[in-house]
C-alpha cells in the first residue's frame, strides 16, 4: 500500500473514531449541613443492599434516603 494513502486512511479513521467516544451526562447534588448532614466534610461513603447511602463524618454517621437524611 502506498505510504501516503495509508496515512490518509489512518487520519480519517482517527477523525471518525473520535466521534464515537462521547462522555455520559452525570448529575451531582451537593449535600451539606443545610440539608441535614452532621458535617460538611464527609470522610467515608457507602451504599448498602437496600439502597441507603451512608456517609461518615467526624460528628457521626448519616443515612441518606433520597430526598432527606
Please tell me the predicted confidence (pLDDT) of residue 24: 75
Please tell me the predicted confidence (pLDDT) of residue 20: 63
Average pLDDT rounded to a whole number, residues 36-56: 93
Which has the closest alpha carbon to 37: 64, 67, 8? Answer: 64
Average pLDDT rounded to a whole number, residues 55-67: 90
Average pLDDT rounded to a whole number, residues 49-62: 94
- Contacts of residue 33, Cβ cutoff 8 Å, sequence gap at least 6: 39, 40
Please tell me the predicted confidence (pLDDT) of residue 41: 92
Determine if the pTM surpasses 0.85.
no
At 64, list the grid cell.
Answer: 441518606
Amino acid at each position: 500500500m502506498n505510504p501516503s494513502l495509508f496515512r490518509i486512511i489512518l487520519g480519517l479513521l482517527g477523525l471518525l473514531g473520535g466521534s464515537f467516544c462521547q462522555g455520559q451526562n452525570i448529575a451531582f447534588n451537593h449535600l451539606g449541613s443545610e440539608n441535614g448532614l452532621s458535617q460538611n466534610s464527609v470522610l467515608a461513603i457507602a451504599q448498602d443492599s437496600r439502597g441507603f447511602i451512608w456517609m461518615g463524618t467526624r460528628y457521626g454517621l448519616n443515612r441518606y434516603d433520597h430526598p432527606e437524611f
